[in-house]
């Protein structure tokens, strides 16, 4: 589970990007912490990095298929690509 010391560095956001599900191996559109919806594993990735593939992240059958959601975004306020995509 993602943790923090100082909440003044975080901003709550109801943005739709937190509801999007990403399949394994997807190149992430923004830097942040991504969580597997099945088993709860978290990975921190830089923008443009791929999420773990099925071979890199194989959790038990009981957790269902792997899919990822972003739980914390690390956004540069002036990133024009993120502004166009609606993530900002």
Q: Is 43 domain-assigned?
A: yes
Q: Is 11 domain-assigned?
A: no
pTM beyond 0.85: no
Q: Residue 29 is part of which domain span?
A: 20-85
The SS3 of residue 27 is strand
d(CA 19, CA 42) in angstroms, rounded, equals 16
Q: pLDDT tens digits for 17-76?
A: 888 999 999 999 889 999 999 999 999 999 999 999 988 887 778 888 889 999 998 877
d(CA 46, CA 38) in angstroms, rounded, equals 22
Secondary structure E strands in 23-67: 31-36, 42-45
Per-residue model confidence (pLDDT) at position 34: 96
Q: Is 10 domain-assigned?
A: no
DSSP H helices, the chain, are: 80-85
Q: Is 12 domain-assigned?
A: no
Q: Is 71 domain-assigned?
A: yes
Q: Is 57 domain-assigned?
A: yes
**Domain count of the fold of the chain:** 1
């Amino acid at each position: 589970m993602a943790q923090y010391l100082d909440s003044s560095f975080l901003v709550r956001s109801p943005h739709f990007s937190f509801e999007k599900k990403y399949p394994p191996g997807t190149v992430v559109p923004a830097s942040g912490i991504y969580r597997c919806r099945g088993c709860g594993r978290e990975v921190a990735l830089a923008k443009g990095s791929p999420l773990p593939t099925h071979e890199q992240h194989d959790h038990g059958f009981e957790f269902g298929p792997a899919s990822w959601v972003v739980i914390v975004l690390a956004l540069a306020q002036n990133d024009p690509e993120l502004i166009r995509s609606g993530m900002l």
